[in-house]
Amino acid sequence: MANQTTTGPDTQGGVGSDRVIIVGGGLAGLAASMRVAEAGMKVDLFSMVPVKRSHSVCAQGGINACNKVARQQGYSEWQHFDETLYGGDFLNHQPPVYSMTHWAPDIIDLFDRMGVPFNRTKEGQRDLRMFGGSLFKRTHFAGATTGQQLIYALDEQVRRCEVEGSVTKHEFWEFLWPVLDDDGVCRGIVAQDMRSMEIRAFRGAAVVMATGGNGLIFGKSTNSVICTGGAAARCYKAGAWLGNAEFIQVHPTAIPGEDKCRLMSESARGEGGRVWVPRKQKDPRHPNEIPEGERWYFLEEKYPGYGNLVPRDIATRELFWKCQEGYGVHGGRMVYLDCTALPDATKDKLAGIFEIYEKFTGDNPRDVAMKIFPAVHYTMGGMYTTYTAEDDSKGMKHGALNNMMTNIPGLYAFGEVNYQYHGGTRLGANALLSCTFDGLFCGLSVANYAKEQISAGKSASDSLLQKYVDQENDKVTKLSENNGKFNPYHIHEKLGDELTDSCTVMREQKRMEQAYDVLCDLKEQYAQVKLSDTGMWTNQNLSFTRALGDMLAYGEAILLGAMQREESRGSHYRPDFPERNDERFLKTTIAKYDVLNDRPILEYEDVPQPLVEPRARTYGKVD
C-alpha cells in the first residue's frame, strides 16, 4: 500500500480534489476505505463515533462462506447463493448475490491474514458453526464477538493507511447532506463537527454512504443508538431513492430491556440451543423443574429438517404466535432459549453472549434457560442501488462504475444501508459478509469512477459548496429558534411504539392505517419541536432532533410500503394477504421523495430472476 502513488495533487478540500469521501466507519466503510486507498486514491472517512466503536462491534454470531469441510459434504458457493435467495424469498437481485457468495471464501482468508482470532479446531484449522437457513456448517466465528473481531481487524488496517497518509479520519463529524451539482451529480458532502458544531462542505470525486441500519425508528431495537437511518433519509430527501424500505428484520431471540433489546445471537441455536415453552399454559414452575415431556419444542416439531434454525422471520412468527396463544412463559411475552444441556466446551464458545445475558438479567444461561422475545434487528431495505451484471448474469462485472451506485451519479451505498443482497429476509451471518464484500468488491468501482471524474477535471465550485453550507446553517437556525412546545424524545418514543406495534411481526391493514394517522400527527408536532439545548458546543440535542425529522420521513416510507404491499414475503407478513404473490409483487418497492408534499411516492420495479427460478419457501414445514 505504501508504495502506491496517488493520482493528481493532494489538495484536501481544494478545487480539483482527488479525494473520495466515505461516510461511515463500520465494516462496510472501513473495507471500502482500505480498498479505495489501495487503488491509489486518498480517502476522507467520516463517522459520528470513533470508527472502532461503530455498530458493527455488536455482531456476535459469525460470517458465512463455503469452506473446505462443507465443500466435501456437498456444499458449494452456488448453494450459499441459492440459500440466500430462498431465505430472501427471491426479492434479491441475483448477480450481486452470486458475486458475494463466490467471493466469500476469499474474504474469510483475507480476515484470517489480517489476524482475526477465528476459533480453531484441535488441528489448528478454522472452526465452523451451524447457522439459520442452512443444513451445512458454513459459519466462521471468533468466540461470540465475531463482529467486534472483524471490525477491529479492518480498523487496524485503516489505522495503518492513516499513518501512511492515504486515509484521513473525521471522527465525531455528522453527515448532513450530499452536495449535488446542476446536473444532479454528487460532488461532495456537507458535515458538522459534533464538538464545535462547525458546518463545512467537503469535496469528493465520489461519495460512499456506509451508514448502517435504521433500528432506532422503531424505538427500541438490537441496534446501537446511532442507527437512526438519518443519513440515508437525508439522501432520500435530496433525491436518492429507497429500495424495499418496508423490509425490516425482527430477530426472534432478544432480551427485552429498558433502553434497548439486547440480542441473543443465532449462534446459541447454531451451537445446539433449543427454543421451547411449557406445554401447560401459565405453568408457574421454574424452567429447570419442568420435565422434558412437558416442554414444547415447537420449532423442532413443525420444521423437522431445520428445527431451531429456520430463518428468522419464520422463527419470529412462530414464537410470537405461541405467546399470543397464551403459551408464553408465565403467560407473558417470552419463550425459553435453552443452552443448559450443551457440553461445557460448547458453552465456552458462547461465553461472549452468555456474559451479556448474565450482566443484564442476573441469570447465568449455563444453568438456567434464557427468556427471550423478538426485537427489530436488521434493515434489509435501504438506499436503492444498481450494478452491471456479467453477460451470463453470473455475478457483477468487477470494477464497473455503477456497482452499488445509487440513482444519483457519484453517490454509492455500501453495507446495511444498501438495499441489495438480502431481499425479503437476511440469513444469519450474511450481513458481515455483504458489508465487507461491498467495500472490497465495489470499492474498485468507486476508485475507477473517481479517477474518471478527476481526469475530466470535474468538481464542485466554491459557490456550490457555499450554497449547501448556507442551507444547512439555515436549517439549524430554524430548529434552534423554533418556539415550539413538543419534546423530541417524547415524539420519538411515540413513533417507536406505533411502528413496533403496527409494522413489525404482524402487519394488519387497520392497525397500520391508525399508525399512519399517528405518524401524520407526529410530523405536525415535529414542526413545533422545542430544543432543550441551543448552545453551540457539542449540542447532542440538536443532532438527535434533526435525526428525528429524518426518522419520521423514513418511517413514513416504511409504513406506506408495508400498506401497499398486499402479499406476504419474507419478513413482511400480512394476515389479510398471507401468501406470496409473485405476479403483483416480485418487485422492488422504490420510494421517491416528493418535496412539495413531503411524502413518498411509491413505484415498483421487476426483479429479474436470471439464474434461479422462484420456488415456494416452506423449509420442510409439517402442519
Partner 1 sequence: MIKSNKPKTLTFKIKRQDDPKSEPYWQAFDMPYRPSLNIISCLQYIAGHATTTGGKDVAPVVWECSCLEEVCGSCTMVINGRARQSCSALVDEILDETGDTIITLEPMSKFPVVRDLWVDRSRMFENLKKVKGWVPIDGTHKLGEGPQESPEQQDMRYALSRCMTCGCCLEACPQFTIDNEFIGAQAISQARYFNEHETGATLKDERLDALSEVGGVSDCGNAQNCVKVCPKDIPLTESIAATGRQLTVHHIKKFFTGK
- Beta carbon nearer to partner 1, 107 or 290: 107
Name which of residues 383 to 412 contact ligand FAD (CB under 6 A).
Answer: none
From the list partner 1, ligand FAD, none, which binds 356 (C-beta under 5 to 8 Å, kind-based)?
A: partner 1
Distance CA 480, CA 482 (A): 5
By the rule CB under 6 A, 429 interacts with ligand FAD: yes
Residue 45 near ligand FAD by CB under 6 A: no
- Cell readout for 92 is 434479491
CA 511/CA 509 separation, integer angstroms? 6
Binding residue for ligand FAD, selected from 100, 413, 431, 557, defined by CB under 6 A: 431
Contact by Cβ (8 Å): 232, 382: yes
Based on the shown chain and the rule CB under 6 A, indicate whether residue 350 belongs to the binding site for ligand FAD: no
Q: Which three cell numbers stand for residue 355?
A: 456474559
Q: Which residues pair with 411 in a beta bridge?
A: 207
Segment near ligand FAD (CB under 6 A); pick from 24-32, 337-345, 352-360, 530-538:
24-32
Q: CB under 5 to 8 A by kind: which of ligand FAD, partner 1, none does 258 bind? A: partner 1
Contacts of 167 (CB under 8 A, 6+ apart): 33, 37, 42, 43, 44, 45, 158, 161
The number of CA neighbours under 13 Å toward the Cβ of 260 is 18
Place of cell 406476504: 568
CB 58 within 8 A of CB 85: no
- Grid coordinates in use for 539? 449540542
Smallest distance from ligand FAD to CB 570, Å: 16
Which DSSP category does 309 fall into?
Answer: G
- The partner in contact with residue 179, picked from partner 1, ligand FAD, none with C-beta cut-offs of 5 to 8 angstroms by kind, is none
Q: Which is nearer to ligand FAD, 104 or 369 (CB)?
A: 104
Name the one residue in this structure whose C-alpha cell is 451508514: 211
Ranges within 50-69 binding ligand FAD (CB under 6 A)? 51, 54-56, 58-63
Of 49 and 611, CB closest to ligand FAD: 49
* Among residues 17, 20, 26, 89, the one that binds ligand FAD under rule CB under 6 A: 26
How many residues line the site for ligand FAD (CB under 6 A)?
45
CA dist list (Å): 378 to 287, 417, 437: 30, 10, 17
- The Cα angle at residue 555 between residues 248 and 22, in degrees rounded to 5: 75
Its sign, for the CA torsion 168, 185, 201, 6, is positive
SS3 call for 426: coil
Name the grid cell of 101. Answer: 457468495
| Binding track, positions 143-162, relative to ligand FAD; x by CB under 6 A | ---xx---------------
Closer residue to ligand FAD in complex, CB, 180/515:
180
With contact defined as beta carbons under 8 Å apart, do 92 and 427 qualify?
A: no
Parallel/antiparallel/unpaired status of strands 167-171 and 42-47: parallel
Nearer to ligand FAD, 28 or 542 (CB): 28
Residue number with CB closer to ligand FAD (372 or 515):
372
- Least separation in angstroms between residue 438's CB and ligand FAD is 8
159-198 footprint of ligand FAD as x/- string (CB under 6 A): ---------------xx-----------------------
Shortest Cβ 251–ligand FAD spacing (Å): 8
Interacting partner of 415 out of ligand FAD, partner 1, none (Cβ under 5 to 8 A depending on kind): ligand FAD
Which C-beta is closer to partner 1: that of 119 or that of 134? 119
Nearest to 520 by CA among 547, 484, 479, 560: 560
The nearest distance, CB 175 to partner 1, in angstroms, is 16
Phi and psi angles of residue 306, each rounded to the nearest 5 degrees, phi first: -85, -25
| Minimum CB–partner distance for residue 195 and ligand FAD (Å) | 14
Identity of the residue, 160 or 302, whose beta carbon is nearer to partner 1 in the bound complex: 160
20, 28, 41, 108: residue in contact with ligand FAD (rule CB under 6 A): 28
Contact 491, 525 (CB under 8 A): yes
What whole-number distance in Å separates Cα of residue 365 and Cα of residue 368? 5
Write the binding mask 509 to 538 for ligand FAD: x where contact by CB under 6 A, - elsewhere: ------------------------------
Contact 105, 71 (CB under 8 A): no
Interaction between residue 435 and ligand FAD (CB under 6 A): yes
Q: Give the bridge partners for 46, in sequence order.
A: 23, 170
**Residues interacting with partner 1, by CB under 8 A?**
1, 34-35, 38, 49-50, 52-55, 57-58, 106, 109-110, 112-115, 117-122, 124-125, 142-143, 145, 148-149, 152-153, 156-157, 159-160, 162-163, 195, 224-226, 257-260, 262-263, 356, 359-360, 362, 440, 487, 489-490, 532-533, 535, 537-538, 540-541
Under 8 Å between Cβ of 241 and 581: no
Annotated active-site residue 584? The verdict is no
Nearest residue to ligand FAD, scored by beta-carbon proximity: 26
Grid coordinates given for 171: 471522527
Check residue 459 for interaction with ligand FAD (CB under 6 A): no
CB 285 within 8 A of CB 273: no
CA 95, CA 398: separation in Å to the nearest integer? 11
- Nearby residues of 95 by Cβ (< 8 Å), 6 or more positions away: 387, 389, 390, 393, 394, 395, 396, 610, 611
Catalytic residue among 19, 35, 312, 317: 312
- At residue 191, what are phi and psi to the nearest 5 degrees? -140, 165
**Residue 382, phi-psi category: left (phi > 0), alpha (psi -120 to 50), beta (remainder):** left
Q: Shortest gap between Cβ of 76 and partner 1 (angstroms)?
A: 18
According to CB under 6 A, which residues from 283 to 322 bind ligand FAD? none
Binding region for ligand FAD (CB under 6 A): 23-29, 46-49, 51, 54-56, 58-63, 146-147, 174-175, 210-212, 222-223, 226-227, 230-231, 263, 265, 377-378, 415-416, 429-432, 435
List, by residue number, the catalytic residues.
312
